[in-house]
Amino acid sequence: MHKTHIPQHIVKRVTDRRGSAHPFSDLDPARTALVVIDLQNGFMVPGIAHALCETAVGIVPNVNRLATAVRASGGKVFWVQNTHDDTCLTEWSILHDYTVQEKQLHRVRSMSAGSEGHALYPALDVRPEDETVQKTRFSAFIDGSSDLPARLRAAGCDTVLIVGTVTNVCCDSSARDAMMLNFKTIMVSDANAALTDEEHNAALTAFYATFGDVMNTDLLIGCLSRNAASERRRVS
């Protein structure tokens, strides 16, 4: 797992501007969604993966803990799968144009629906009440990539917790776009995985400085539990 570090001067800047180091700690659990990005065999299993992220396996226990906590406090869990379809070759041709042919073909095989690479990693705790989403771009929130924003709004969610792989590509781009679509967005520091600590921390620092909040798993579970208990007391 990564050694996460956000410089103290960035924390101070955020606190001075927002009035709190964690402005979304008052989240409403019943309006919160855990959005799990790309934890698929195609990124996590040697011999299958077209873009192996070795650190991703290590975050699975925290992702499962968060999923349990979100469900228990009344929220929703969405499992997002990076997906190749034929339109990617024309509508997102630039990705393939600057990828060498061998790797391009491996990505197509690995990310096509129904393939072993496209499947969610088997140790993930996916439940029947959860939802799965297929996205065709790095970001799950950019127009045309998926129907996730509409599904979140239909479920009454205004807050999203972003976890998955890799921190600085699909997770970061999804988180930034979620914020710009007016979702309160939190990246979970110890439930995102990148190829290196440097890339992981650079993405989290840039996101935290401007776009949203960054918390770890224990802090988030505490917020969910505390806020759900407070709401139960309020309505009883």
What are 112's two structure tokens? 């096509």
How far apart CA 205 and CA 97 sit, in angstroms, is 31
197-210 burial, b for 16+ CB within 10 Å, e for fewer?
Answer: eebbbebbbebbbe
Check: CB of residue 136 under 8 Å from CB of residue 83: yes
What is the pLDDT, as a whole number, of residue 90? 75
Check: CB of residue 183 under 8 Å from CB of residue 211: no
How far apart CA 165 and CA 103 sit, in angstroms, is 19
pLDDT of 184-204, one tens digit each?
Answer: 999 999 999 999 999 999 999
pLDDT of 91-127, one tens digit each?
Answer: 777 776 777 777 777 776 777 789 999 999 999 999 9
pLDDT-based confidence at residue 9 (cuts at 50, 70, 90): very high
With a cut of 70, say whether residue 11 has pLDDT above it: yes
What's the predicted TM-score (pTM) here?
A: 0.95
What is the pLDDT, as a whole number, of residue 96? 66
Domains of the chain, each with CATH number or no CATH: 8-235 (3.40.50.850)
Average pLDDT score over the chain? 93
The share of the chain scoring above pLDDT 70, in percent, equals 98
How far apart CA 19 and CA 130 sit, in angstroms, is 34
pLDDT of 71-94, one tens digit each?
Answer: 999 999 999 999 988 777 777 777
Contacts of 215 (CB under 8 A, 6+ apart): 22, 25, 186, 188, 189, 223
Residue whose pair of structure tokens reads 């990148």 in the numeric block: 194
SS (H, E, C) the chain: CCCCCCCHHHHHHHHHHHCCCCCCCCCCHHHEEEEEECCEHHHHCCCCCCCCCHHHHHHHHHHHHHHHHHHHCCCEEEEEEECECCCHHHHCHHHHHCCCHHHHHHHHHHHECCCCCCCECCCCCCCCCCEEEEECCCCCCCCCCCCHHHHHHHCCCCEEEEEEECHHHHHHHHHHHHHHCCCEEEEEEEEEECCCHHHHHHHHHHHHHHCCEEECHHHHHHHHHHHHHHHHHHHC
Check: CB of residue 121 under 8 Å from CB of residue 79: no
